[in-house]
Structure 1
Amino acid sequence: MPKTPHYDAPSVMDQGSIWILVAAPSIWAAHFLVSYWVAAVYCAKSTTGALGGLMEPRWIAVWLGLACIAVIAWLGVIAVRRYGGVFVIFEEITESSERGRDKFIGHVALLLCVLSVVAIVFTIIPGLVFNEC
Structure 2
Amino acid sequence: MRRITGHLRARDVTLWTLIVPPTSWAVHFLFSYLWAAIQCAKAGGFAWYPAIYWGGTALALVVIVAAGLVAIVQARTPGDPPPHEEGTRVDRTRFLAYATGLLAGLSFVGVVFTALPVIFITDCR
TM-score normalized by the length of structure 2: 0.77
Percent of aligned pairs sharing the same letter: 32
* 2:70 pairs with one of 74, 78, 81: 78
Return the letter of the residue paired with 1:69. L
Ranges of 4+ aligned residues in structure 1 off by more than 6 Å: none
**Conserved 8 A contact 1:85-1:103:** yes
Instruction: Return the match for 1:95 from 81, 86, 89.
Output: 86
Contact 1:79 1:107 in 2 (8 A): yes
Query: Could you say which structure has the greater relative contact order, defined with CA pairs below 8 angstroms and 6 or more residues apart?
Result: 2
- RMSD of aligned Cα (Å): 2.0
- The verdict on how the C-alpha distance between 1:101 and 1:71 changes in structure 2, with shifts beyond 3 A counting, is same
Q: Does 1:119 align with 2:110?
A: yes
Q: CA deviation at 1:59?
A: 4.1
Q: Which runs of 5+ in 1 are unaligned?
A: 1-13
2:87 is paired with a residue of what secondary structure?
coil
State the alpha-carbon separation in 2 of the partners of residues 114 and 57 from structure 1.
Answer: 28
Q: Give, as a single letter, the amino acid of the residue that structure 1 aligns with 2:93.
A: D
d(CA) in 2 for partners of 1:85, 1:56: 45
Higher helix share: 2
**Residue 15 (structure 1) shift:** 0.6
Determine the structure 1 residue equivalent to 2:12: 15
1:29 maps to which residue?
Answer: 26
User: Do the aligned partners of 1:31 and 1:65 also contact (CA within 8 Å) in 2?
Assistant: yes
C-alpha distance after superposition, 1:16-36 (max 9, x if no partner): 421111111001100110111
Corresponding position of 1:8: none
Q: Tell me the distance in 2 between the aligned counterparts of 1:129 and 1:123.
A: 11
When the two structures are superposed, what TM-score results if normalisation uses the length of structure 1? 0.73
Tell me, yes or no, if structure 1 residue 39 matches structure 2 residue 39: no
Shift of 1:66: 1.4
Structure 2, gaps ≥5 residues long: 1-10
Could you tell me which residue of structure 2 aligns to residue 68 of structure 1? Answer: 60
Letter in 1 for 2:37: A
CA distance in 2, matches of 1:31, 1:19: 18
Q: Measure, in 1, the Cα distance between the counterparts of 2:53 and 2:29.
A: 9
